Structure formats: structure tokens, C-alpha cells
Amino acid sequence: MITSASAPATAVVRAYLAGLPGAEQTVRTVGPNHWGLTLDAAGWPLHLGLAVRHGVLRAQAEVLPAGVADPHDLLYRNRRLRLARYTHAADGTVWIEADVPEEAVTAATVVDRLLGAAVAAAETLRRAAAG
């Protein structure tokens, strides 16, 4: 549900996503303030979820399967990231998560920076895992 507080951020995200090249093939509307998009990260698809909820704009995606990255290395790598962080699920699957406060989403550049940080972090980890 879009609240009056999330409406401005949702409008900014919608406009940004609609302006992406090939948006009709890569962007899916999952709900009123929730989208899915597929971007390239280190040569293979990165399926990102993007949502405005609970006061934040959050992007998240699975980056690597279980057993590929050392959880301790992820902690070290997190210190060098901005806006984004690596997390892992109970099964060891590695994810990238990035978020900004909803009230900060006032222009397309904020969305672009958030997605850029997530994709760059995913690419870095995927390239490191590939050796």
C-alpha cells in the first residue's frame, strides 16, 4: 500500500525505472511500490528487487550461491562499501542489499546512485569469486 508519505518516493522511482533503456523488457511491477529489474553484473543477470516500504527505498539481489564466498571476507568487504552491504542467508547464499531513507528519494539521481552501488558491489564480488 502506498501511503501519503511514500507517494513522492514511489513517483521518483517509477519515473526513473520508466526512463531506463529497454525498461519494458527489464523492469517488472510487483506491487504498487515494489519492482523487479534485471541488470547485468559481471557478465550475468542480477535480479534486483526494489521497494519503498517501512521508511526506506531498498534494493536487494542474490549475488552468489552458497559456498562460494567466505562470510568473514564479506565482513571485510562491507567496510569498503557505501550505501550497500553484503549479507548471507542461513543457507549461505550471498545477497547485496542497499537502502536510503525514503525522504532522501527526491530525484532520479538518488535511485541511480543506490542501484549503481548495488550493481558495483555485486560485480566486485562476482569477479573475485571467478578468480
- Residues 88-110 pLDDT 10s: 999 999 999 999 999 999 999 99
Please determine, for residue 2, whether its predicted confidence score (pLDDT) is greater than 60.
Answer: no
Q: Is the pLDDT of residue 6 over 90?
A: no
Per-residue pLDDT tens digits for 56-84: 999 999 999 999 999 999 999 999 999 99
> What is d(CA 23, CA 56) in angstroms, rounded to the nearest whole number?
23
Q: Which CATH architecture has domain 7-130?
A: 2-Layer Sandwich (3.30)
Domain boundaries, the chain: 7-130
From the CB of residue 106, how many other CB atoms can be counted at a distance below 10 Å?
Answer: 10
Give the Cα separation of 120 and 87 in Å (integer). Answer: 15
**Confidence band for 131, pLDDT divided at 50, 70 and 90:** confident
